[in-house]
Structure 1
Amino acid sequence: MARSSEESVETPRAFDALLRAAASGKRNPPVEQWNPELCGAIDIRIAADGTWHHEGRPIRRPRLAKLFSSVLRKDEDGVTYLVTPHEKLSITVDDAPLIAVDYAAKPGPDGDVLVLRTAMGDVVEVNESHPIRFAQEVGSEGLKPYVLVRGRIEALLNRATTMALVNDERFVDLTSQTPILRSGSQRFAIEPDDL
């Protein structure tokens, strides 16, 4: 029993540390400001589960995948690129380039704010600038939630995070005619965004 209460205390502390790190000024490179010529494609694929592959093999070094994820940009053409000041290389993305793997609540004046963490260490407060949208899952009646992380780069909430969130009454109201997800003063309808 004591261990369970310790674990529930550790999660907010871990998120507090992540929030402090996010506020420390260390940011992703300004890829939206870089406009190099397209250099072609590179054989990098991000699988639907968030695993990065190079030339068909998984990238086993998490720090390398994290470095690559920091220079991701999705342009108006719908293609995802790795961008540096001098190169722009297209890559393949099966679903979303990032996966949200955990969440926490941050107290706010209009109620708890939903904070999501990606597998690559991005920390995002769900709000007007970082909305959640829902898409119909192919082959099922289910919905898949995506959060806008930066630019046009989204993170898909993994199944475990989605299921925990759906059962968290601080954020999800399933009793209304159209179920909603709350984050502070923001409300997002839990329905496919193409309806």
Structure 2
Amino acid sequence: MPESRAPIELHGVSLAELQTLIDERRLPPVDKWDPTHCGHSGMRIARDGTWYHEGSPIGRSAMVRLFSTVLRREPDGTHVLVTPVEKLEIEVESTAFRATEMQSEGEGPARKIAFKLDSGDLVIAGPDHPLVIEATDHGPSPRLAVRHGLQAELSRPLYYELAEIALAEGSEPAGVWSDGTFFALDPDGAAQ
């Protein structure tokens, strides 16, 4: 059944209203399902976020949103699509999601930063959704924890927006606050 919920829009609402919309969104409890592994789904999420099935791009965004709700990352680092009765592997070239927009409210430790993902979901960075900079073969990769071990890679413009905030606030090390947690913006930094 295709995903019938429209993506949550980031702009034009306060972060408090966004949090309410996030809390009202009911996602399948994929962390509680543990069916037998059934094989490979024939699906792949490319580095740019395009979802493929058997080599062809999936053109319907509602289908991609639906599949994204049953996606999780296993402890061994593999990604799977899971239902109560089956578990199918899916290849993920970089991260499951990309953060494409952001909205910031407040300053310093009172700041909250919301990110819109290419799946249509919203995530507010904080203790449950930390920002990290991971070293990869393609250079430093700014990432946001989403759910069930899944991450969203921040687009380069979003990373630059975060860097501008960090420079304006003059924190040492350079970083940003969101939802009461400080996130350093370099690979050697740590959340406080």
Q: TM-score range by the shorter chain?
A: 0.7 to 0.9
1:49–1:139 distance in 2 versus 1, CA, 3 Å: closer
1:188 deviation in Å? 1.4
1:188–1:16 distance in 2 versus 1, CA, 3 Å: closer
Residue 158 of structure 1 corresponds to 155
Question: What is the alpha-carbon distance in structure 1 between the residues aligned to residue 50 and residue 148 of structure 2?
Answer: 21
Q: TM-score, normalised by structure 2?
A: 0.83
1:184 deviation in Å? 3.5
1:14 deviation in Å? 8.1
Structure 1 stretches lacking a partner, 5+ long: 1-9
**In 2, are the aligned partners of 1:109 and 1:184 still within 8 Å (CA)?**
no
Residue 72 of structure 1 corresponds to 71
Residue 135 of structure 2 corresponds to 136
Question: What is the alpha-carbon distance in structure 2 between the residues aligned to residue 165 and residue 112 of structure 1?
Answer: 12
Q: Deviations over 1:143-184 (max 9, x none)?
A: 2211111120111111222223322x2xx2474552112213
In percent, how many aligned pairs have the same letter? Answer: 32
1:122 deviation in Å? 1.6
1:21 deviation in Å? 2.5
1:190–1:13 distance in 2 versus 1, CA, 3 Å: same
> Which of these two proteins has the greater Rg computed from alpha carbons?
1
Question: What is the alpha-carbon distance in structure 2 between the residues aligned to residue 98 and residue 15 of structure 1?
Answer: 21
1:189 deviation in Å? 1.7
Root mean square deviation of aligned Cα: 2.6
**In 2, are the aligned partners of 1:12 and 1:104 still within 8 Å (CA)?**
no
- Structure 1 counterpart of 2:46, which letter? A
Q: Deviations over 1:101-146 (max 9, x none)?
A: 1111244994111111101122111111110110134344xx2211
SS in 2 for 1:150: coil
SS in 2 for 1:13: coil
Residues 1:124 and 2:123 are matched in the alignment:
yes
SS in 1 for 2:11: helix
Q: RCO (CA 8 Å, sep 6+): is it higher in 1 or 2?
A: 2
Q: TM-score, normalised by structure 1?
A: 0.82
